[in-house]
Amino acid sequence: MTSSTAPGALVAGERPATRRARRGGDRHAYLFIAPSLFGVVAFLLLPMVIVLVLSLFDWELLSAPEFAGLDNYRRLAGDGATWHSLAVTAGYVLLSIPLQTVLALALAVLLDRRVKGLRLYRSLFVVPWMATPIVLGLIWDWIFDPREGALNSALALVGVTGPDWLSDPSWALPAVALVSVWQHTGYNMLFFLAGLQGIPRELHDAAAVDGATPAQRFWRVTLPLLNPTMFFVTVTNLIGAFQVFDTVYAMTDGGPSHSTEVLNFRIFQTAFKEFDFGYAATLSTLLFAVIFAVTLAQVRFFGKRTTYDLS
Amino acid sequence: MAKRFLLYAVLTLGAFVSLFPYLLVVLTAFKTQAQLSTTAPWLPGLPPTTANLAEMLAGDFPRYVLNTVVMTALLTAGQLLFTTFAAYAFARLRFRGRDVLFWLYVATMMVPSAVTMIPLFLIMRELDLVNTWYGLLVPYLLGSPYGIFLMRQFFKTLPAGLEEAARIDGAGPMTILLRVMLPLCRPALGTLAIITVISSWNSFLWPLIITSGDDTRVITVAIATLKSGIGVDYHLMMAGSLIALVPMVAVFIFFQKHIVRSVVLTGLK
């Protein structure tokens, strides 16, 4: 990296620039963004294009790619296993996201009162977020072990016989979703806490003077003002949840009888176990379309509601 | 008063639930196979044994840990370097196409990594970089749109007067960035570093796909293969898990302020 100190080579701030100086500023700016722009184009945009193109081909890696038109999409329409995996993904999202959002909000509301040891609690709640997901999967795999695991051992103490969790098709998906709740609740709580602490006290006081009950103040004052935080938390969590992979890989490997085979896991299997890259690209396109549609729906949902600009 | 007590009871229970799996890892890592079946999971095995850790450390595990450390260090260095330059340009310099490019970056934040995985693998295969350090690192070395977004927000909060003064003294953009702005960026850089360290250390799917040999195997992939091995030895697995978790917990204890700050920085304003 060379250091340029030529006078007038930079144009920034609010002043109108002379053309010559402007060109100098441009040059530096382009130099500064060049590596990251290369990264964005080569490793994000180009792959997006490749996925779309590849989804029109029949290609099993060792054979030559063959143009197949919309064959993969026709196959997708009749592919029960994929629709099943989409339903599993939706189930995972519905089991984990509402619970972790509500719990995070509840914890944040509790911590927003003048709690002694706020910093300590806040830190302890965030600890699960640090855990390596694949390691986490193994730990929870063991906690859910029907005989030796901590969960059923604890249940046995109070006289309850726990289910076979991960080997029972009706319990496996809720168990995997619970791990997501455990991992993300505390981290989400940080965002809600930051949001709550940004709400001016006067608004609460004014509502209280007008005779609003605590419940009314929560629903009519707090929640609407948390709208931007809620939007951020649900959008990022949903995008993440639709792509869950590591914990599924470590805990269930998609089983038992495909009950935890989420779409991302199926894409991985199709590409790197069956080497059916053309069809796997089609499945990737499906995943992207679903995430895009859900995000768009959220933007519209939250956009319609009033947001209060207090700054 | 009772209400106050209930509040602390709920918070303490929450904290306990947060820590419980970590506690299990520590307890189990120091148990023998025999103690594992005779003690309750949440009780320590007495006397504790270090044999599991010794066994894990005697094998190839230290090498995988070293690989992970190298990967994490390089990815974090790359992220800090390239992100700082790009974010500074987007926040403080004027150039043609700036806004369009920035929106392009923001838009790519929405692209799921699951979707780019297959093409990335094919690109690396075409370049003959499968099962190499280059293949492992290159796609994530040049800074992420997320990091650039985060740093740009921070640069925008710095007063413009500083730059003006430096410019009048004849400093160019490079000098201003390195000498004037960068020292002020330490908190934001710390936050970005921690986020990158954690996500690099924890990354699994890409290393699983792109690497296959011992030379490039990282700890997440090594731990995953422990499970698929014949006969799951939980006490060994937990010893391995402990080795993988300890560095992250250490990072957390030393830098937790930054982690909390990252939340405020992530653009809630």
B168 lies in some domain: yes
Query: Chains A, B: CB contacts under 8 A, how many?
Result: 294
**Least trusted range by pLDDT, from A158-162, A181-185, A288-292:** A158-162
Share of chain A above pLDDT 70, in %: 89
- Chain A interface test: which of B18, B113, B180, B194 (most A C-beta within 10 Å): B18
B92 in reach of chain A (CB within 8 A): yes
Please say whether the beta carbons of B146 and B262 come within 8 A.
no
Q: Which of B 137-196 lie inside 8 A of A, CB atoms? A: 138-143, 145, 148, 160, 163-164, 167, 170-178
Q: What is the pLDDT of residues B161-197, one digit of tens each?
A: 888 888 888 888 888 888 888 888 888 888 889 889 9
Average of per-residue pLDDT across A25-42: 90
Regarding whether B152 and B25 lie in a shared domain, the answer is no
Q: How many domains does chain B have?
A: 2
Same domain, B235 and B264: yes
**Is B55 inside a domain boundary?**
no
Q: What is the pLDDT of residue B3?
A: 82
The rounded mean pLDDT for chain B is: 88
Does B263 touch chain A if contact means CB atoms closer than 8 Å? yes
Q: How many residues does chain B have?
A: 269
pLDDT at site B47: 87
Residue A4 pLDDT greater than 50, yes or no: no
Instruction: State whether ipTM is beyond 0.90.
Output: no
Q: How far is A95 from chain B (nearest CA, A)?
A: 19
Q: What CATH number corresponds to the domain at position B143?
A: 1.10.3720.10
DSSP state of A10: -
Report the residue from A26, A47, A121 with minimal CB separation from B119: A47
Chain A residue with minimal CA distance to B260?
Answer: A190
Same domain, B83 and B45: no
B151 and B253, same structural domain?
Answer: yes
- Categorize the per-residue pLDDT at B154 as very low, low, confident or very high, splitting at 50, 70 and 90: confident
| B4 at interface of A, judged by CB pairs closer than 8 A | no
Assigned domain for B167 exists: yes
Domain membership of residue B236 (yes or no) is: yes
Of A135, A150, A292, the CB nearest to B241: A135
Instruction: Fill in the DSSP letter of residue A276.
Output: -
What is the C-alpha separation between B231 and B229, in angstroms, rounded? Answer: 6
Question: Per DSSP, what are the bridge partners of residue A58?
Answer: A66
Look at residues B163, B160, B181, B182 and name the one whose alpha carbon lies nearest to residue B171.
Answer: B163
Q: Amino acid identity, residue B201? A: W
> What is the pTM assigned to this prediction?
0.89
Q: Is the pLDDT of residue A13 over 50?
A: no
Same domain, B34 and B67: no
Query: Do B114 and B38 belong to one domain?
Result: no
Q: A183 to chain B nearest CA, in Å?
A: 8
Dist. CA A25–CA A226, nearest whole Å: 40
B157 and B260 belong to one structural domain: yes
Cβ <8 Å between A12 and B171: no
Distance between CA atoms of residues A241 and B145, nearest Å: 20
Quick one: closest CA in B to A156, which residue?
B40
Query: Does A29 contact B at CB distance below 8 Å?
Result: yes
Report yes or no on B184 lying in a domain: yes
Q: Which residue has the higher pLDDT, A104 or B176?
A: A104
Q: What is the pLDDT of residue B17?
A: 93
CA–CA dist B135, A28 (Å, integer): 29
- Confidence check: pLDDT of B269 > 70: no
Residue B2 has what pLDDT? 80
* A14 band by pLDDT with thresholds 50, 70 and 90: very low
Answer whether residue B134 shows pLDDT above 90.
yes
3-state SS assignment for residue A164: coil
In this model, does residue B117 exceed pLDDT 90? yes
Please indicate, yes or no, whether residues B26 and B88 belong to a single structural domain of this protein: no
For residues B86 and B28, membership in a common domain is answered with no
Last residue of a domain, one of B12, B28, B49: B49
Cβ atoms of A242 and A264 closer than 8 Å: yes
In a domain, B161, yes or no: yes
Mutation choice for A interface testing from B61, B93, B106, B212 by most A CBs within 10 A:
B93
For residue A173, which of A103, A89, A49, A99 has the smallest C-alpha distance? A89
The region of weakest confidence among A6-15, A164-173, A272-281 is A6-15
As beta bridge partners, residue A66 has: A58
One domain, residues B22 and B132? no
The 3-class SS string of chain B reads: CHHHHHHHHHHHHHHHHHHHHHHHHHHHHCCCHHHHHHCCCCCCCCCCCCHHHHHHHHCCHHHHHHHHHHHHHHHHHHHHHHHHHHHHHHHHECCCCHHHHHHHHHHHCCCCHHHHHHHHHHHHHHCCCCCCHHHHHHHHCCCCHHHHHHHHHHHHHCCCHHHHHHHHCCCCHHHHHHHHHHHHCHHHHHHHHHHHHHHHHHCCHHHHHHCCCCCCCCHHHHHHHHHHCCCCCHHHHHHHHHHHHHHHHHHHHHHHHHHHHHHHHCCCC
CB distance B29 to B52 below 8 Å: yes
A159 interfaces chain B, CB cutoff of 8 Å: no
Q: Which of A32, A50, A250 sits opposite B119 (nearest CB)?
A: A50
Query: In chain B, what percentage of residues exceed pLDDT 90?
Result: 45
Q: Is residue B79 part of a domain?
A: yes
Q: Do B195 and B67 sit in the same domain of this protein?
A: yes
**A residues 69-88 near B, CB within 8 Å?**
none
pLDDT at A311: 39
Q: Which of B221, B228, B182 is nearest to B205 (CA)?
A: B221
Q: Of B15, B205, B251, which has the smallest distance from its Cβ to A121's Cβ?
A: B15
Q: For the segment A242-270, what is each residue's pLDDT rounded down to a tens digit?
A: 999 999 999 999 989 999 999 999 999 99
Q: CB of A197 within 8 Å of any CB in chain B?
A: no
Of the CA atoms within 13 Å of residue A171, those in its CB half-sphere come to 11
What mean pLDDT is reported for chain A?
87
Q: In the numeric block, which tokens belong to residue B224?
A: 């995953």
Among chain B residues, the shortest Cα distance to A310 is held by B269
Is residue B54 domain-resident? Answer: no
3-state secondary structure of A305: coil
The closest alpha carbon to A135, from B239, B86, B253, B165, belongs to B239
Which residue range(s) make up the domain with B140? 60-268
Beta strands in chain A (DSSP E): 57-58, 66-67
Tell me the nearest-neighbour CA distance from A181 into chain B, angstroms.
11
Residue B232, pLDDT score: 67
Judge whether B237 is closer than 8 Å to chain A, CB to CB.
Answer: yes
Helix (H, G, I), strand (E, B) or coil at A142: helix
pLDDT surpassing 60 at residue A78: yes
Between B82 and A20, the higher pLDDT residue? B82
Give per-residue burial for A196-228: e unless 16+ CB within 10 Å, then b.
bebbeeeebeebeeeebeeeebeeebbeebbbb
Q: Are residues B83 and B136 in the same domain?
A: yes
